[in-house]
Amino acid sequence: MRIIRLNSPQIITQALVTISLVSVSLATPAMADEQDALNFSAGAAVTFDDNLFRLPDSANTRQSLGKSQRSDRIFVTNAGIKIDKPYSLQRFQVDLNFVDNRYDTYSYLDYTAFNYRAAWLWQLTPNIKGTLSADQQQVLNSFSEFRDFNNQLNIRRSIQTNENRIFDIDGLIGGGWHLLGGLSELRSRNSVAFNAVGDFVQTGANVGVKYVAASENSIALVQRVYNGEYQGRIADAPNQLDSGFKQRETEVQLQWRLTGKSLVDAKLGYLDREHDHFSSRDYDGVTSRLAYNWQPTGKLGIITSISRHLYSYQQAANSYYVADTFAITPIWQVSAKTTLSMRYDYSKRDYRGAVVVVAEQREDDVQSLMLSADWKPTRTIKVTGSLRHEMRNSTYNQPNAFGGDLEYDANTASIGAQLLF
């Protein structure tokens, strides 16, 4: 495992130049408060990425991209409306946000995202409550995975849109015991077809029971059942690509405050996915997460976590992968206006479920280190900046225009400002 190094002077230069521009823009006074029922927001940011398409060092950049330049500057502007209004026992929330992304060199990647969340936090009685919500998120898929590694002409813009519809209910039946239930629908689609992560609609239901102690420590047992349908796909026998699936999840959840300064948040579950036609794509296994939130002082907090998750990823050499991840995030509240934080992630990903004979299954080691700072000179202005390094080592090795492997190093720097009014 290689050690992460933040060693790109060009990134530092880009960040310093942008800091100067943002500082000038802060001369306009703001006129709002975060606690208002209605708020408008506007912001701008710039990001420099020195390896936009996540290519290995050995890649023939001109052949794969048509240009010798791997880096790009991304200019982002956003505008939004936020409503948060309580009414008697009810609470209504709306958050609308338009985000415009412009690429300096690879302008064909330009796109505008419309993200929203609308929620009714309903309550029939003090003991019966829940949430009815809908949200949408749009984002450019990362080129670390969403491209055809065997076709240099297939580095195209792919926008992923995820829409969630959720209804849940929490009923206190006495003695700290709660009955839980809910319905959900997830719609996921890509603007460019990508079989490894196909477009799908997933509907489901969940039931559970939770115990909450007088100390507010809690433990819950939840069962979820989903039915999924791949959109625009019929069962494809040669490639073992299915038209639908069923998924069951059983999970135990624990939140326990050990002391006034430490909290444990844990989950342990079992996931089982079965496909409608091709059992070769089925998978199951243990999922888990253990997070420890420690706040040794009033200004310093550290969140440490380890987790295991299973993700569908359907190619000839794999049907899914298991991701074992370690993360640590120290957060330092330097002053009432300034916060510094760092996050380090290490993830080991094992790709399994090949539908063809493979000499060796794919294994990736993915690391990232991010340093970030937030500054709030007033109640309604927030300036953020970050430096990030990420890298991947992989056993994948197949000659192509991208350099024959999936390894890459990438550095990004960004700075932005947000105004609330």
Residue 4 is assigned to a structural domain of this protein: no
For the chain, give the percent of residues with pLDDT over 70.
88
More confident residue, 202 or 399: 202
pLDDT for position 56 = 87
pLDDT for position 65 = 75
User: What is the C-alpha separation between 318 and 310, in angstroms, rounded?
Assistant: 13
**pLDDT grade for 23, boundaries at 50, 70 and 90:** very low
Look at residue 155 and tell me whether its pLDDT is greater than 90.
no
- 223's tokens: 């069962």
Look at residue 324 and tell me whether its pLDDT is greater than 70.
yes
Residue 133 is assigned to a structural domain of this protein: yes
Residue 95 is assigned to a structural domain of this protein: yes
Backbone phi, psi, residue 15, to 5°: -65, -45
**pLDDT grade for 156, boundaries at 50, 70 and 90:** confident
Amino acid, single-letter form, for residue 344: Y
pLDDT for position 35 = 65
pLDDT for position 24 = 38
Backbone phi, psi, residue 18, to 5°: -70, -35
Residue 336 is assigned to a structural domain of this protein: yes
User: What is the C-alpha separation between 402 and 394, in angstroms, rounded?
Assistant: 14
Residue 3 is assigned to a structural domain of this protein: no
More confident residue, 106 or 147: 106
pLDDT for position 17 = 38
- 278's tokens: 């091709």
Q: CA of 50: how far to CAs of 15, 72, 400, in Å?
A: 13, 7, 21
pLDDT digits (tens, 9 = 90+) for 58-75: 877 777 677 888 999 999
Residue 415 is assigned to a structural domain of this protein: yes
Residue 1 is assigned to a structural domain of this protein: no
Longest dimension (CA), the chain: 68
In which element (H, E) is residue 14 found?
Answer: helix 9-25
pLDDT digits (tens, 9 = 90+) for 159-184: 999 999 999 999 999 999 999 999 99
Look at residue 53 and tell me whether its pLDDT is greater than 60.
yes
Name the domain count of the chain. 1
pLDDT for position 359 = 82
Backbone phi, psi, residue 418, to 5°: -130, 135
By residue range, what is the domain housing residue 280? 9-420
pLDDT digits (tens, 9 = 90+) for 346-377: 999 999 999 998 888 899 999 999 999 999 99
**pLDDT grade for 282, boundaries at 50, 70 and 90:** very high
pLDDT for position 148 = 56
Residue 29 is assigned to a structural domain of this protein: yes
Global confidence as pTM: 0.86
pLDDT for position 262 = 96
CATH code of residue 126: 2.40.160
**Average pLDDT across the chain, whole number:** 89
User: What is the C-alpha separation between 138 and 160, in angstroms, rounded?
Assistant: 6
Look at residue 146 and tell me whether its pLDDT is greater than 60.
yes
